[in-house]
Amino acid sequence: MSEIPWWGLPLIAVVFALVGAGVTLLVSSRDNYLRSRAKRTRRWYAERRDAYVALLAQFERATYRLRAALDSGQPMPGPFTYLDEVGPALMQVRLLASGQVRSAALAVHLLLEKLYGSRPTPPPGVDPAKSVREMLGHVPLVMQQLEAAIREELGIEVTPPPMPVEGPPRSLRTYLRRGSGASQESSVTG
């Protein structure tokens, strides 16, 4: 007869069941944490990307409207038109963006706001229309700085990833021949 008490086997089974349940709980909570973290990261990236694209589109639209007004000789749009269109997109970027992107976005905004607002008096001997055109020519340069800050924050590379080095693509026949050749060799050697 064995020296194990009658209650020993059920006790060991209960202990192992509790340990197994605890390990299962820990593993599932870790997986849930990792899944939620990945989901938050994707959401973070998508929110910022959408906000940046909307703001860049508004800046482009405002710049085009100024160029069209200057080229056609029509009166320049008012500053409230610009603020009504760009305001919501700019506020979203100001809430979501890092300091570098926020500063670059505000630099573009201030430049466009000057162009839409009351015209600064140019230096003596400079045509006021040329002064506005010159300031308008600076907008793409300042927007490049904004785009570079956005790329850096989002981790967007300007060059494509390197192509994997492989041989020519293989067809299904190649794989079938290789498979049938291997089975023939194994039957010969076996």
Tell me: the pLDDT tens digits for 157-174?
878 778 776 666 667 666
Structure tokens at 70: 């200057």
Other CB atoms within a 10 A radius of the CB of residue 76 amount to: 16
**Top-confidence residue, 179 or 88:** 88
Taking the whole predicted model, whether its pTM rises above 0.85 is answered as: no
Domain boundaries of the chain, sorted by first residue:
23-160
Q: How confident is the model at residue 122 (pLDDT cuts 50, 70, 90)?
A: low
125: left (phi over 0), alpha (psi -120 to 50) or beta: left
SS3 (DSSP) at 176:
helix
Q: What is the mean pLDDT of residues 117-132?
A: 65
- Which pLDDT belongs to residue 60? 92
Q: How confident is the model at residue 126 (pLDDT cuts 50, 70, 90)?
A: low
Q: Are 51 and 92 in contact (CB under 8 A)?
A: yes
